[in-house]
Chain A
């Protein structure tokens, strides 16, 4: 046994610059990363804040010594800043391990706190899988039902159905996203909150795809958000609950039941700094990215046999989704990747996943041949040019592989 002084011995070597995004010349070889929903490149200020917090906030914020108190100050400051951005009191904001666990806590915790009132959970048809699954589990655990409110072809919930569902007796919780991260469509959360309030039912608003990109109204009782979606490091989530809302901790006894074992102080601090930064130039970024996504919608619609989905106007500024008839979505993702363009897809045409996107299915639109893009603040017009230049050829090649002509 030799003592190895290489700190990364045995670990795979980072492949710096492999994606050519940091080459000084030859911008034509630069990759266009257009799959930024839920995991975006770090905002420069998030990076700076994270590095600062590595120095100042490495200690356990629950300890009473100077180092611990310094970390606690960063964490408290982060809570306060996030609360200010979402229009909440500091004590209403909690950090969780991830956005997904924030959704789990919100659904399971409010269903448990309201078990005496009822066991049913009302959800929109295009909520995240974390909400749909937690709602099913919470309802089933108490003999209740998960009621799924249908959406229209644009992905917007049927408000009348939602009103009648939350107005029924025995409802513990209702959940409606602010906007859908797969198709961009905004939901009528203000009207939904009015209906829920009238019925005395708390409303969980999932702002995981919109906070940091869009104005999220204060029409919520519980709110979940995703720092990794607005350019912060993954490893922290946000859960806010109004003081009047009862939320039970459903896990084993813990000092911090919302983040058992404690949160990452650098991740929480970076999340808060980045949220302030993206809020500061939100309207300029909204206009810039909306113009780019409008252009993508218009130009993609010229490719034969394509359906551009989601609401064309009442939507997030940075998300576009479309589906090509007779195209294997995963083959198209690979083809575009080869051409230097990274996109997402809600299709499921390989052995890895059998079920296609439940969002596209709920909307009644084509699930195969799907491409999903979410523009980051670092996305340039040149990146979009590249997508639009290579997309028609990539679609034609993938169709040729399947022998699809004249259908």
Chain B
């Protein structure tokens, strides 16, 4: 993951449907200074299209996307888990944005 200064900020929105992943990303971005690189993890296919569109509308820069096909077992710490626990971890998108002045 691109992390020019310090550890990258990760927002885990896996299992959430649109528009929640973008809302979670926007809420986190609001607290962070310009130049921060934020990575959103999302299983919802709309996020792949909506994160770059959100970044463009908000003056941020979309810097990359990666498809994680065979994720390791989930290590949730954010307490927002509403995925189906009986299934194995779903593939997800890892979408990276460099924040502008917002």
Chain A residues close to B by CB (< 8 Å) = 305, 307, 325-328, 347-351, 354-356, 360-361, 364-369, 402, 404, 406-407
Contact = CB atoms under 8 A, between A and B. Distances in A.
B67 interface: no
A350 B46 CA distance: 11
Contacts of A328: 18-19
The dominant DSSP class at the A interface is loop
Interface in B12-26: 17-20, 22-23, 26
A347 B44 CA distance: 12
Contacts, number: 65
B45 to A, nearest CB: 5
B76 interface: no
The dominant DSSP class at the B interface is helix
B23 A402 contact: yes
Contact of A404 (B23, B46, B49): B23
Given A355-B45, A407-B27, A407-B30, A365 B53 contact: yes
B30 A406 contact: yes
A42 B83 CA distance: 45
Interface residues of B, number: 19
A366 B50 contact: yes
Nearest to A360: B49
Interface string B3-16: 00000000000000
Interface in B23-55: 23, 26-27, 30, 44-46, 49-50, 52-54
Interface string B46-69: 100110111011000000000000
B59 to A, nearest CB: 13
A368 B46 CA distance: 7
Contact of B18 (A305, A347, A364, A407): A347
A305 B54 CA distance: 10
A305 B57 contact: yes
A325 B54 contact: yes
B53 A327 contact: no
Given A305-B57, A349-B17, A356 B45 contact: yes
Nearest to A323: B53
Closest 3 A/B residue pairs (Cβ)? A368-B19, A407-B26, A368-B18
Contact of A361 (B30, B44, B49): B49
A335 to B, nearest CB: 15
A367 B46 CA distance: 7
Interface of B: 17-20, 22-23, 26-27, 30, 44-46, 49-50, 52-54, 56-57
Contact of A325 (B46, B49, B52, B57): B57
A190 B78 CA distance: 55
Contacts of A360: 49
Contacts of B52: 364
Contacts of B19: 325-328, 349, 368-369, 402
Given A328-B19, A354-B45, A368 B26 contact: no
A162 B42 CA distance: 33
Given A402-B19, A402-B20, A402-B23, A307 B57 contact: yes
B46 A349 contact: yes
A365 B45 CA distance: 14
A285 B34 CA distance: 50
A346 B27 CA distance: 25
A368 B57 contact: no
Contacts of A404: 23
